[in-house]
Amino acid sequence: MIDKVADDAGTVVTLATMEGGMRFRALGEVRAYWEALRKGRRVPARADVDPRGIESALEYAFIAERIAPGMARFRLAGMHLNDLIGMEVRGMPLSSFFAPEARHRIGEIIEEVFQGPSAAELVLSGETGIGKPPLAARLLLLPLRSDLGDVTRILGCLVSDGQIGRNPRRFLIDAVHVAAITAGYPTEFGAAAPSGPQADEIAPETATAPQPGFAEPAARFALPSKSPEERRAQLRLVVKND
């Protein structure tokens, strides 16, 4: 059985390493697709997302919806996510993929993505133990606007590299990269957002008030004056009978 090959540079690598590298390319594909959807805006709309645009990354991709401060649940999810946790994840909270000690932190990051709005990429490692071999992973979280115009959706991608094992896998957070989003500029992790007059050239429908950082969790986790559910409750379907 062949388990080692030479890459384009002549370096001998294992097939597992190559497979992991190809999986992690899904993160770049989803991120590039999201950037293309922005079209100069800060955040694209959920309605703009067409699964055909990320066809080769679909098994790792997901759509999540904000349900409370720091909480999001899966609306759609690829098969890789089901494999990781051993069940259908649709309807489950995103925090289900994290060990108890990491859930507060992932809640902070989720709310940062919504309230910034910001993009986030996380470096993860799976809990180890009986039936749980070493497992590395990356998680990408990109904000989307709902039909009502509020930032309450996430286009995400979760990719793991290693054996999943027999038991459901949950992760610890090893590193977090959060990127500010500015209209008209590509989003760069680790780079400062542009400042000056150009940064203020944001269309009214995409402008948001400055938000505090993680140092002020009470303000960061405050609910908006009207939730999406309250606004939806104001909408009524009127049927005219002939």
pLDDT digits (tens, 9 = 90+) for 202-233: 333 333 333 333 223 333 323 334 455 554 54
Q: Which domains does the chain have, with CATH numbers?
A: 13-181+215-222 (3.30.450.20)
Whole-model pTM? 0.71
Tell me: pLDDT of 194 over 80. Answer: no
pLDDT at 239: 42
Instruction: Tell me the pLDDT band of 188, cut-offs 50, 70 and 90.
Output: confident
Which residue type is seen at 227? S
Q: How far, CA to CA in Å, does 75 sit from each of 19, 66, 154, 155?
A: 27, 10, 10, 10
Which two tokens mark 91? 């309807």
The H helix count followed by the E strand count for the chain is 5, 8
Instruction: Please tell me the distance from the alpha carbon of residue 181 to that of residue 54, in angstroms, as a whole number.
Output: 21
Cα dist from 8 to 1, 3, 12, 13, 114, whole Å: 21, 16, 10, 11, 41
* Choice between 24 and 211, residue whose per-residue pLDDT is larger: 24
CB 141 within 8 A of CB 156: yes
Cβ proximity of 175 and 11 under 8 Å: no
pLDDT band at 166 (very low <50, low <70, confident <90, very high): confident
